[in-house]
Amino acid sequence: MDARERLIVGLDVPTIGEAERLVSTLGDDILFYKIGYQLVFAGGLEFARDLAASGKKIFLDMKLLDIDNTVASGVENIAKMGMSMLTLHAYPKAMKAAVEAAKGSGLCLLGVTVLTSMDAEDLAEAGYQYDPQALVARRAAQARAAGMGGIVCSAEESAAVSEIVGPDMAIVTPGIRPTGAEKGDQKRVMTPKDALKAGSTHLVVARPIVKAPEPREAARAILNEMVAALWPANR
């Protein structure tokens, strides 16, 4: 697999104009983009359709969670948009409903385990009895049982998750920070090289590229680090 198939750039910008300029700047170096709440509520759904129609892969990061029928209805419509990946919170009933709705579409459904901005103290405050690692493992097993296409987790948990889900499910990890980059509001982070070696299959990178003085050079540096990790014999 081309490293460009594994790097997902988060279009975490406030306007469609800024997103368009970033996509233009990154050019053919980037094939895969994540669109989340910020851009969705600024007209991002139509933009996502347009990007997909142009040949880009789109990870729609909606983190769906609702009653089964509502989740299924949403997934059916998202599948028709030409999206490549879609997130939902890894609750068993929601995942089962989504899998049934996505059958035959090619849409890869990703179960969000524990947000990378949360640590053990945050989970305890929210009422969970598990630490992040235990909750990630539990939800990964439930996602596999439900027939999901992949998992979203911290790169710190990707090795343990890969043991649970096996080689056929995607392990998508946000919170990726090149060496020396600021963590921001992320609490469980890892470098691109270390994340891939730990078992991540796809890396989501936003601020280190989007906020870089030269976004294309920043993206190329990350791609080069990924190539060195994936195919060291070719370096």
In the chain, what's the furthest Cα-to-Cα distance? 50
Q: Which helix (H) or strand (E) holds 217?
A: helix 215-230
As annotated, the active-site residues are 63
Q: Is 49 annotated as a binding residue?
A: no
2 is in an annotated binding site: no
Rounded CA-CA distance 181/48 in Å is: 28
Annotated ligand binding at 34? The verdict is: yes
Cα 69 to Cα 21: distance, rounded to the nearest angstrom: 38
Residue 207 marked ligand-binding:
yes
Q: Is 115 annotated as a binding residue?
A: no
Task: Give Cα 44 distance to the centre of its chain.
Answer: 17
Is 21 marked as binding a ligand?
no
Q: Is 63 annotated as a binding residue?
A: yes
Nearest to 9 by CA among 54, 75, 61: 61
61 labeled binding residue: yes
Q: Are 112 and 154 in contact, with CB atoms under 8 Å apart?
A: no
Confirm or deny that 119 is annotated as ligand binding.
Answer: no
The residue with tokens 């980059």 is 181
Annotated binding site for substrate: 12, 34, 61-70, 116, 177, 186, 207
Residues at the binding site are: 12, 34, 61-70, 116, 177, 186, 207
